[in-house]
């Protein structure tokens, strides 16, 4: 992937970091985007120590102007974007009575609106290139949610539906769109809510990175528009 440019939102830690490292290990020019400068610097240092290439951009995906700047700056610097991974997300754990309007707006701005804005921003460049891959991170909770995650699960169901429709739009342009729906993944986000979640029922972030990378390979077995569910073997 030496000529490929890969943009990853939420690239500072967890699944996003693993995806950045996976693509960089195969020679891609990675652009990691996140709100945390410290986390981004850590990702960049790790990738560069391994001989990879990583550029970082501080981005708040709830800001449309930040997303536009991420895409525009990447195109100006590298001339193309081959892969966009919409990974940034929030997962407030609360019942409807606890779910304040401000929290709901924050969730939708990150989990829904940011995905829309990033896809829309990168679409003209990928159309001009006559090719590209967009990977949206959904969740198994999109089809199997429970108390406390109603809003989160619904937002991820939107991601899967958006992916199906967008893949149909991109077919004639050579743009492939997929979604990955992981089960529980070993991240700070998981442990902040469920510190005692059984380790044997948790996926390593690298497992999601493996799936993401496979979706960019020429012999990919999944069809554009598909949501690929990834669950721990013991689940």
176/178 Cα distance (integer angstroms):
7
Q: Which of 116, 152, 178, 197 is catalytic?
A: 152
* Chain-centroid distance, C-alpha 31: 13
Whether residue 152 lies in the annotated active site:
yes
For 80, half-sphere exposure in the C-beta direction (CA atoms, 13 angstrom radius) is 16
What per-residue string of b and e applies to 10-47 under the rule 16 or more CB within 10 Å gives b?
bbbbbbbbbbbbbbbbeebbbbbbbbeeebbebbbeeb
Catalytic residues: 152
């Amino acid at each position: 992937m030496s000529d490929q440019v890969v943009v990853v939102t939420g690239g500072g830690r967890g699944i996003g970091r693993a995806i950045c490292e996976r693509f960089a290990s195969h020679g891609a020019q990675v652009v990691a985007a996140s709100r945390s400068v410290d986390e981004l610097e850590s990702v960049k240092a790790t990738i560069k120590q391994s001989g990879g290439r990583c550029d970082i951009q501080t981005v708040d995906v709830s800001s449309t102007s930040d997303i536009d700047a991420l895409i525009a700056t990447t195109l100006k610097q590298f001339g193309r974007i081959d892969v966009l991974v919409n990974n940034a997300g929030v997962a407030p754990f609360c019942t409807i009575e606890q779910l304040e309007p401000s929290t709901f707006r924050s969730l939708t701005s990150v989990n829904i609106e940011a995905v829309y804005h990033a896809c829309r921003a990168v679409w003209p460049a990928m159309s001009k290139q006559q090719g590209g891959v967009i990977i949206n991170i959904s969740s198994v909770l999109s089809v199997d949610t429970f108390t406390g995650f109603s809003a989160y699960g619904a937002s991820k169901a939107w991601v899967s539906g958006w992916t199906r429709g967008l893949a149909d739009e991109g077919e004639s342009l050579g743009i492939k769109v997929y979604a990955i729906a992981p089960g529980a993944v070993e991240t700070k986000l998981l442990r902040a809510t469920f510190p005692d979640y059984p380790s044997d029922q948790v996926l390593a972030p690298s497992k999601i990175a493996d799936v993401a990378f496979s979706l960019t390979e020429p012999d990919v077995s999944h069809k554009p528009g598909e949501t690929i569910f990834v669950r721990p073997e013991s689940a």
